[in-house]
Structure 1
Amino acid sequence: MCGIAGFCNYNEDFTEEAPFLGQLARRMGNTLRHRGPDENGVFISTHAAFAHQRLAVIDLEGGKQPMTAYAGGYRYTIVYNGELYNGDELRRELESIGYVFETTSDTEILLKCYIHYGSECPKKLNGIFAFAVDDERRNRCFLCRDRFGVKPLFYTLAGDRLVFGSEIKALLQYPGVNPILDRNGLCEVLGIGPARTAGVGVFKDIYEIKPGFFAISDRNGFSVKPYFQIESHEHPDSYEDTVKHVRYLLEDAITRQLVSDVPLCTFLSGGLDSSVVTSVAARKYRDLGQILSTYSFEFTGNDRYFKPTAFQPDSDDPWAAKMAEYCGTNHTVLKCDNLSQADKLYDAVDAKDMPGMADVDSSLLHFCRMIKKDHVVAVSGECADEIFGGYPWFHKKEAFEGHCFPWSPDLSVRTDLFKPEINDALDLEDYVNQRYEESISEVPKLENENSQEARRREISYLNIKWFMTTLLDDRAGIV
């Protein structure tokens, strides 16, 4: 995890104010130090100022940022937060074209991929990323975010300048950018939260590059375009071929994420998703003559107070222990008491900047701080339920008959907490319904699909676009 921030205007010359603007960029970057405590850097060009906070994972010496490369007499500079899973393939492809690499970092691969492919670059990438490039050939800043919005990238327009950052707190360091909460922001927090409408930054005039989109700031202004959209297609494969294909995709995705120059571990709850991830990772480590480290999490008193729910029918602990033994991992059980969890609520809010999941965020923050003492990178099975239909609403009759977000069927649970005049002023139900209708209208359809499968497709789409992005949200407060 790293942090990026900056601002630009390609109709303005930054040269005379370079020292002041560099200090401003550094202040923006300093707010993101918790994302990247290992190194920091600032870059100033004629039209742009970038800052970077680095968490070193790949090529600890050669991956310093901002990173600059030259091609055709022009300078290109990148700030990047993320990880490329197809970096080796891209490197070989670019080398075959004639590019020469000075480091083993994926930052250099990404930068030279952009130099060669320009706006088509994102389509070549397999990974999680948010980045900005100062492109002196085209006189523009190119910003991009990964397909499912794991890496955050917020922005606002301050006068004639584009201001961007990994977190909103970085934007707020820029003069004149203030955290103003209007009706739409309140509706996001009170009606939609802990989820958030794609592209909405909650505060007035603050936005986020949507997942699967890139943006360009140049002398003609600011524009945003998609490079990836979910599509629906017939599935002609047999059951047996489907099983083989899904297994290949899972193993490929897990293995690609095990590349790291720092200690790596997995989260292991004993559930199906984390067990599959851990099993594949442990086998890979055994092949290398190494032992994988795993962690499971419990709450103090869980043995006495645990109650089964539709989401968690039984306790994790015995299943995690069985899987750790089966996989032969170096397993650690971490515990959290009520006071520690409550104390972390404030830190979790500071880390998120945005609507959050309260106790879920604070407990995860508590556990991750403990893990970071020994491991910098962790791989988990998060969001398997969204992809493979693990939640109750993928099967419940009410979700199929309802016309609402399946995880929030009754807004009265929220609105009953407010005074009538607040409900009248906000009209949460209307706001939430608008957001729901917008999402449903985007669902890619299949011809001749029966109503039940069409609704199942809608539920799946809503989970990927809303619930999954909420859980994947890459925030930091661990240092």
Structure 2
Amino acid sequence: MCGIAGFCDFTQNLNNEYTKNKNIVIEMGKTLEHRGPNDSGHYISEHVAFAHTRLAVIDLLGGVQPMKRIEKGYEYAVVYNGELYNTDEIREDLRRKGYTFNTTSDTEVLLVAYIEYGTDCPKYFNGIFSFAIWDSFHRLCFLCRDRFGVKPLFFSVVDQKVVFGSEIKALFEHPSIHPVINQYGLCEIFGLGPARSPGCGVYEGVNEVMPGHAAIIDYSGMKLYSYWSLTAEEHRDNYEQTVEKTRELLLDSIRRQLVSDVPICTLLSGGLDSSVVSAVAANVLKEEGKKLDTYSFDYNENTKFFKASSFQPTEDRPFVDIMVDAIGSNHIYLECDHHSLYETLYEAVIAKDLPGMADVDSSMLYFCRQIKKNHTVCLSGECADEIFGGYPWFRDEEAYNTNAFPWSKNLDYRKSILSPHLRKVLPLDDYVQSEYQKTIRAVPKLDGESKLPARQREISYLNTSWFMTTLLDRKDRMTMASGLEVRVPYADHRLIQYLYNVPWEYKYHNNEVKALLKDAVKGILPDEVLNRKKSPYPKTYDPKYENLLKEELRKIMSDDSAPIHMLIDHEAIHKLMEGNSDYGRPWFGQLMATPQLYAYLIQTNFWLKHYNVTLKI
């Protein structure tokens, strides 16, 4: 994985002010050095300036970027962030067409694929990617992002220039772009956050190339379009056939994503999803005479303070132990103390350029730094719950009957902590409902579907296009802040497309949560792990952490210069902190309860101050 940045300007020849443009794009690239600590480079042509920072994973010596290629007298150049998992197949196809290759890198394959297939090239890719290509033959710049947005790609159009980058911070190094938040940005922060509307960068004028989308930039401007999307199709396979097809797609995805020229590890929580990935990876490595390294996360003294709930019924450690014995991995147990968890909240904001999932982010960042000491590439079980229906709201009757995001059904709690002025001027309810309805209108459905299957499709689509994207966004930023590449086999587009059309009664076969996945992986896992009740990413239950948050939030509220001062209702927050926190009633997802609200406000205050955000209310 890597970091990319740059800008396109068809109103002038960038070579005429080469030094100036070089300095700008180099500074943009420097903001992304954490994503690619191994190498960096830049490229300037007539109308584009590219910067790249490299995390070397495939062809450590030959995959240097920006990569250029001359074909029939025309120059093509690429900056690319990602991995192609079908590199060998594409390379062989291109060789049959007469192309030769100088490296074993997927970067060269991607560039040659563009030269051969043009803007249709992403349709041939199985992988995670965002990239920019300069095409001197057609005199255009091509931007592209993978089908589910595993890899980020932000952009802004200003002064007839298109400025882009893997992270928003790179855009702010361009002299024409500044951190400004208007009322719609505040609706994102307080109404939808830590999620973001598809394509929205929150800051005024900052956008994101949506998953499955590409852009052509030339003399006529910028044209964004969708090259891939989920489609609704009649599911004709019976249950046994569906189980077999699911197993085939999932195992193929995991095996493909084990390709690397550096050692691979997995995240192993002891849950179903990560255990499947780890078990398959361990078997593949065993065939090669190698042993898999695995990691699990927890918090100091969490066993002492753990409180079971419907969202988090069991601790992870006993199930991790079962899996380690079963697959014979080299396992490392990582723990985080409450002080480190708190301190990393601020660094998590810088990693994301926005307030995020509070300690869910900061813990991931902390743990990834520990993993990076030994590994560069890691596989994760992320995304399985979205596509197999693992979350509680897939079975929540209220979610089916409420026109709202299932993981954040009620805005009253969010609005209660806002200042009276902000509640008056922000169109919070209208904004959130508008974004919800926009997604519902886009849901692919079959003609004549009855009400219940149609709503089940809506719940599924909301999860893949919103909740999954939020978790992938978090995963990318927290891992890449440490120079750690994390791959997500469950996000394979072939698997997600197939499962989108599988009826709910198959996924919930015999009223068993994630029954389809369990049946598909039978024989791979010990029964205790296979039948374990879902338990999400761990969080701390240590009261010392919550007390630390309250102490910091009180300091912020007593500081008249604190930028969040004018946005919050001090009396409401003081009253909240005086009561008992309910860990079992999250306001976002499964993990963000009252302590995470305190942390989110602390992050928001730090974000406004650190980025010197201009508020336009």
Amino acid at match of 1:478: S
Match of 2:32 in 1: 32
Match of 2:403 in 1: 403
SS at match of 2:181: coil
Match of 1:477 in 2: 481
Cα distance between partner residues in 2 of 1:307 and 1:389: 24
> 1:89-133: per-residue Cα shift (whole Å, max 9, x none)?
000000010110000000000000001111111111110000000
Match of 2:132 in 1: 132
Structure holding more helix per residue: 2
Bigger relative contact order (CA 8 A; separation at least 6): 2
Cα distance between partner residues in 2 of 1:365 and 1:208: 23
Cα drift, residue 262 of structure 1 = 1.0
Cα distance between partner residues in 2 of 1:311 and 1:278: 24
Cα distance between partner residues in 2 of 1:347 and 1:419: 27
> 1:58-106: per-residue Cα shift (whole Å, max 9, x none)?
0000000000011121000000000001111000000010110000000
Cα distance between partner residues in 2 of 1:68 and 1:448: 51
Match of 2:314 in 1: 314
Residues 215-224 or 2-11, more deviating: 2-11
Residues 302-311 or 26-35, more deviating: 302-311
Match of 2:196 in 1: 196
Q: Contact (CA 8 Å) 1:195, 1:355: kept in 2 or not?
A: no
Cα drift, residue 158 of structure 1 = 2.2
Cα drift, residue 324 of structure 1 = 1.1
Cα distance between partner residues in 2 of 1:326 and 1:255: 19
Equivalent residues in 2 for 1:329-478 (5 A)?
329-473=329-473, 474-475=476-477, 476-478=480-482
Cα distance between partner residues in 2 of 1:253 and 1:355: 32
Q: Contact (CA 8 Å) 1:10, 1:140: kept in 2 or not?
A: no
Match of 2:223 in 1: 223
Amino acid at match of 1:193: G
Equivalent residues in 2 for 1:158-169 (5 A)?
158-169=158-169
Amino acid at match of 1:420: P
Cα distance between partner residues in 2 of 1:181 and 1:367: 31
Aligned length, in residue pairs? 479
Match of 1:109 in 2: 109
Q: Contact (CA 8 Å) 1:347, 1:477: kept in 2 or not?
A: no
SS at match of 2:43: strand
Amino acid at match of 1:294: T
Match of 2:93 in 1: 93
Q: Contact (CA 8 Å) 1:156, 1:164: kept in 2 or not?
A: yes
Amino acid at match of 1:215: A
Match of 2:122 in 1: 122
Equivalent residues in 2 for 1:225-374 (5 A)?
225-374=225-374
SS at match of 1:16: helix
SS at match of 2:123: helix
SS at match of 1:143: strand
Cα distance between partner residues in 2 of 1:107 and 1:418: 47
Match of 1:70 in 2: 70
SS at match of 1:348: helix
Q: Contact (CA 8 Å) 1:300, 1:338: kept in 2 or not?
A: yes
Cα distance between partner residues in 2 of 1:395 and 1:93: 45
Residues 3-12 or 267-276, more deviating: 3-12
Amino acid at match of 1:166: S
SS at match of 2:331: strand
Cα drift, residue 234 of structure 1 = 1.0
SS at match of 1:181: strand
Residues 446-455 or 288-297, more deviating: 446-455
Cα drift, residue 311 of structure 1 = 2.8
Cα distance between partner residues in 2 of 1:241 and 1:354: 44
> 1:140-170: per-residue Cα shift (whole Å, max 9, x none)?
1000000000111111112121111101110
SS at match of 2:410: coil
SS at match of 1:51: strand
Cα distance between partner residues in 1 of 2:103 and 2:136: 22
Amino acid at match of 1:52: H
Cα drift, residue 16 of structure 1 = 1.9
TM value normalised by structure 2: 0.77
SS at match of 2:81: strand
> 1:314-337: per-residue Cα shift (whole Å, max 9, x none)?
000010110111011111110011
Cα distance between partner residues in 2 of 1:410 and 1:22: 49
Cα distance between partner residues in 1 of 2:2 and 2:231: 31
Structure 1, unmatched stretches of 5+, are none
SS at match of 1:36: coil
Match of 1:144 in 2: 144
Cα distance between partner residues in 1 of 2:177 and 2:403: 38
Cα drift, residue 355 of structure 1 = 3.8
SS at match of 1:50: strand
Tell me if 1:44 matches 2:49. no
Cα drift, residue 10 of structure 1 = 2.6
Cα drift, residue 188 of structure 1 = 0.5
Cα distance between partner residues in 1 of 2:297 and 2:304: 16
Q: Contact (CA 8 Å) 1:9, 1:217: kept in 2 or not?
A: no
Match of 1:54 in 2: 54
Cα distance between partner residues in 2 of 1:447 and 1:134: 42
Cα distance between partner residues in 2 of 1:294 and 1:33: 26
Cα drift, residue 49 of structure 1 = 0.7
RMSD: 0.9
Amino acid at match of 1:436: Y
> 1:449-468: per-residue Cα shift (whole Å, max 9, x none)?
23222111100000000000
Cα drift, residue 447 of structure 1 = 2.8
Cα distance between partner residues in 2 of 1:170 and 1:136: 25
Residues 156-165 or 136-145, more deviating: 156-165
Match of 2:5 in 1: 5
Identity of aligned residues (%): 54
Structure 2, unmatched stretches of 5+, are 484-617
Amino acid at match of 2:315: S
Cα distance between partner residues in 1 of 2:241 and 2:203: 47
> 1:314-366: per-residue Cα shift (whole Å, max 9, x none)?
00001011011101111111001100100100000000013410100000000
